[in-house]
């Protein structure tokens, strides 16, 4: 028989209100909805010569930078990262004669906007593209892949897209494993799952795989086989769904370094230039 909601736990009775509070605390601990900002925001070295652009968007202001006057490549970093990720790629693109736009996502770096709304990342990416375009290609890393796909899905048009180490937002099974990993009692985990399901019913997790099937841009997925943060199978699944796409596999580059390694960046630049 499963334990009742008021079964003793650690010497204390867990009643209905206590169960609710414990479930909400568990959700806060196990699911990071708000990114942690760095005390001191960073700026990629090549952007020190670029003009700051504080772009007003429907979800608040976000910071972006532009180098060059022609059609640009928009760079979108991942969760709890910032524009500084892209220093090596910016150098590579500029050397190839390309213009570049970099940004800090809401809740990150120099961007005042928060990540309160689920659609905030995609809204911000699209707003930056509209303000600092023309944009003819996009490159995302990790969570930035979800943000740029959401922007493309809402009508932002580009010719080419590169998705590096993309995640696929967690399903219920993955969420349950994360909750259980916190060591909470089973009834607290189950109540937390019920609360998450109710939240997702009104604000569903973005289905990047379904969106991939609607994409028209030519895409390149890049993933390191030793990535422990986002499984390499994510890129295979996205490439299978994305109509015009290919996968580049590398190894021993982990989750973040793959976005800064010389040979990977050369391949990204060639792809963007149409040298498939």
Q: Which of 47-61, 73-87, 202-216, 261-275 has the lowest mean pLDDT?
A: 202-216
Neighbours of 275 (CB within 10 A): 9
CA distances from 243 to 40, 145, 238, 248, 265 (A): 41, 16, 10, 16, 23
DSSP 39-94: SS----GGGGGSEEEEEEETTEEEEEEEESSSSEEEEE--TT--GGGGHHHHHHHH
pLDDT at 196 over 50: yes
Reported confidence tier of residue 1, pLDDT bands at 50, 70, 90 = very low
pLDDT tens, residue by residue, 37-91: 888 999 999 999 898 999 999 999 999 999 999 999 999 999 999 999 999 999 9
The residue ranking higher by pLDDT, 174 or 224, is: 224
pLDDT value of residue 204: 62
| Cα angle 104, 71, 92; round to 5 | 65
- Give the other-Cβ count within 10 Å of 144's Cβ: 30
- Segments making up each domain of the chain, as ranges: 8-30+172-202, 49-169+210-272
Per-residue confidence (pLDDT) for residue 30, from 0 to 100: 63
- Residues 49-169+210-272, CATH architecture: 3-Layer(aba) Sandwich (3.40)
Provide mean pLDDT across the span 90-117.
Answer: 95
Between 114 and 181, the higher pLDDT residue? 114
- Looking at the chain, the whole-number percentage of residues with pLDDT higher than 70 is 88
Residue 205: predicted pLDDT: 67
Average pLDDT over residues 14-30: 78
pLDDT band at 10 (very low <50, low <70, confident <90, very high): very low
Q: Global pTM?
A: 0.82
């Amino acid at each position: 028989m499963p334990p009742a909601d008021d079964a003793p736990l650690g010497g204390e009775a867990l009643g209905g209100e206590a169960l609710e509070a414990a479930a909400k605390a568990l959700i806060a601990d196990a699911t990071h909805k708000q990114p942690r900002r760095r005390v001191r925001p960073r700026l990629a070295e090549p952007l020190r010569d670029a003009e700051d652009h504080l772009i007003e968007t429907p979800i608040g202001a976000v910071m972006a930078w532009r180098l060059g006057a022609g059609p640009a490549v928009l760079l979108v970093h991942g969760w709890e990262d910032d524009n500084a990720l892209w220093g090596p790629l910016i150098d590579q693109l500029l050397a190839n004669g390309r213009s570049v736009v970099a940004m800090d996502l809401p809740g990150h770096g120099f961007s005042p906007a928060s990540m309160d709304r689920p659609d905030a990342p995609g809204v911000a990416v699209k707003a930056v593209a509209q303000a600092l375009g023309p944009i003819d290609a996009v490159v995302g890393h990790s969570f930035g892949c979800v943000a740029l796909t959401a922007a493309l899905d809402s009508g932002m048009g580009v010719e080419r897209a590169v998705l590096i180490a993309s995640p696929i937002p967690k399903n219920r099974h993955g969420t349950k494993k994360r909750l259980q990993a916190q060591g909470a009692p089973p009834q607290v985990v189950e109540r937390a799952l019920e609360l998450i399901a109710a939240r997702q019913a009104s604000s569903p997790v973005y289905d990047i795989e379904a969106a991939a099937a609607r994409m028209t841009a030519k895409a390149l997925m890049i993933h390191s086989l030793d990535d422990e943060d986002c499984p390499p199978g994510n890129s295979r699944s996205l490439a299978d769904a994305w109509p015009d796409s290919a996968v580049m596999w590398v190894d021993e580059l982990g989750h973040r370094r793959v976005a800064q390694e010389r040979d990977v960046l050369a391949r990204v630049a060639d792809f963007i230039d149409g040298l498939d």
